[in-house]
Chains A and B, each alone.
Chain A
Amino acid sequence: MEEFAKLIDRLIYTRSRNQKLDLIAAYLRDTPDPHRGWALAALTGDLEFPNAKISAVRTAANERLDPLLFKLSRDFVGDTAETVALIWEARPQPKDAETGPISVGDLVEQLHNVARKDAPALFAQLLDRHDPDGRYALIKLATGAMRIGISARLAKTAFAQAFSLNVDDVEEVWHALQPPFLPLFDWGEGKTHKPDISDAACFRPFMLAHPLEEEAVDMAEYVVEWKWDGIRVQIVGTRDDVRLFSRGGDDITAAFPDIAENFDAIGVVDGELLVRGDAQGDANTQGSAASFNALQQRLGRKKVSAKMLREAPAFVRLYDILFDGKNDVRALPWSERRPLLDRFQPKLQQGRFDLSKIIAVDDFEQLRLVREGSRDAAIEGVMLKKRDSPYIAGRKAGYWYKWKRDPLNADCVMMYAQRGSGKRSSLYSDFTFGCWNEDGELLPVGKAYSGFTDEELKWLDKFVRQNTVNRFGPVREVEKTLVLEVAFDSIHSSKRHKSGLAMRFPRISRIRKDKPAQEADIIATLRNMID
């Protein structure tokens, strides 16, 4: 427990990602099984103890401490775990009781086995055995809410780093394993092979595309598909289970039962999750998809209502196949995988799954025209896939390219600024900008924190500091004099914002020091850009 507590304490105060990785990796290398596995699960959010909740800690605190002093302290600190860690009044232990810090493994075992009614007493006994750092770490581990700025991905990356493995390989087996991940550590230490996960409905890392930057590619080597604006999704069907994963490996099955229930096959496929509608595409393309906004209504939900299923039915436009039945086909070239996908798709419920159309393009000039037309067809752009590319994790140069349509542009006026985080914490780098309405009032239309060079950022930061008219906590309101040319992929109507508009991927493309603020764009112009 002492080592884990030290790790948590240092992670809290470490800002650099590399230093965080080093700290976690060193802990995972130096700590024996099963303790390190449980600790890793705590960091990735894979630990849960149904009977050991924060309310039990609160009960224990109120029994041991003066309730008003505890309450006042809790109000000040803002976090029950930290408050209890700081003010716990330890009692001397009875003679026969175990004293001193507990091991992570023993802690997990006791938390697993405790009955709900006994949890406060267990916490009291555990808190008595630890110092404030140990108490903090054990409450955080027990109650699951670490909130120390470590994502699951970062913890897995640290594991990979600790044992010189590829993080995508780790990600691939991760979902099939349970804490304390003994096969994972055995593999890491070279004692066994990579764990066999063929029967589990688990996530495989996605293959991703590079933006097209080279002038031209040889169209004899590439196929072209439309780039749809939904979310990439992976569907995994095994004999007993179907799972949907987002690009980051999050299990989103519960939010899309209309997809999962209609996937009745064994295999793993990759596609774009979309909602039925007519915003994207037209008669000449493939179409029948709603805007990203419509899909967004359905994302991030634990449960989905019948009304939502009816009004915003989801479907998947299939791009690729990773497993055909139980056969891993990822090493095959795209040109051999696609026919497998063509044969796989008819096994699925029609209307819920269709195939991404291959666009006939003879040469690069023609592709240029196709891409230019994608704005009219309200499609995000085109994808280029090398015919001989295997399906491999991550971005591999030369295999897949995305070529988005040219962005839209608008001249907006800077309204508010906020400091960035990490390396940018001393700089005002997040900007809210607006356009004029008919009454000559500026309304915010978006927020951007990229697109500028380091030099430009320095200039913008200086502008903010010299033109502040108001402060609202971390936010500065500035003199409405600076015009920013903002580039964005598309714009949609939105009820969330006063302007009624929401931009997709806005970034600052130019600082228009030459342009007076009065000549910035009006809201109506932006509204006309809605697809």
Chain B
Amino acid sequence: MTALEASGRNAVPAVEKSTAGTRPAHPASDHPRRATARKWAEIALFVGPALALFLTFVVYPVVSAARYSMYKWNGVSQFSDAEFIGFDNYARALWGGSDPATHQAFRTAYTEPFWEALSHNFAIIFLSLAIQLPLALIVALTLNRKFRGRAFTRVVIFAPYVLSEVIAGTMWLIIFDPNGVATQWMRAIGLDMPAGGWFEDPTWGFWTVFFIITWKYVGLAIILFLAGLSGVSEDLQEAAAIDGASWWQIQWRINIPLIGPTIRIWAFLSIIGSIQLFDMVWVLNRGGTAGQYSTIASYMMEIGFFRSDWGYGSAIAVIMFFLSFVIALAYMATILRRDNAHPRKAA
């Protein structure tokens, strides 16, 4: 499948390009002022449309959400009639607010589900790095050789990632139905489904969903890693083999370090994706009847949209935005920094 391979190969140069960061040389000019004006005209021409779109569809909604989050607003009445309540919506989500009359009620009804949803996001981040990363690495290293049916294997591995979330989610709903295939297989080997059902069991629901998320997204990691590996010079591996390095030593000392930038980029995408995880948990059953596998995004949708608590929902959205933003910046500044600072070191 050439398209896939092509996209796989492209992934590496993309990483390299972002790490290269070379500055274009200033062309010598006899008319610096005219050149400056022209430069600005060029910038306006090329950046203008994109900037306008960005301001309209990214910045403006973010600012609006921040504004809505300061109001008590049911989404039905005119926003101009909504009551300004400052940071009360945030307080309700984060610790239940300081009003003793409602503190306890808010803690149980809002703070706990909020933190539960957030804890699921962080559990998914952690589990992705702890389970998906090694799994994807092992598969990628194993597949990183020429064999018959390589393209086909890659397509199969990548297929879940290409499937639409709604279709994949509906498929798993059928498989994990209380009377579905998964249950029959478990019964065939003498076990049973979790007591509350695959998705709705308070303990196991989250793990069923994590299994599906892994199934869905591990293909991306494998394809990225394979693309990275294809950029590792075979000379290095042959030289190491001549020097007597075992297969494991070659992987551990040569291949894995050399695809480090790819791994770090994947981890970045995975972390941000985990914070924003929504479609799959929503399709399965809106984060579970009791929030068994809720995420901060599904929680936002449930309360903001379906309960018409728009101010509070906006506050959750802003918290989610803030989290993604801070984590992305921190990751850029620390872990991705080495890739940016030493472009030569990148594979």
Q: Do A and B come from one complex?
A: no
A residues whose Cβ falls under 8 Å from a Cβ of B:
none
Residues of B within 8 A of A (CB): none
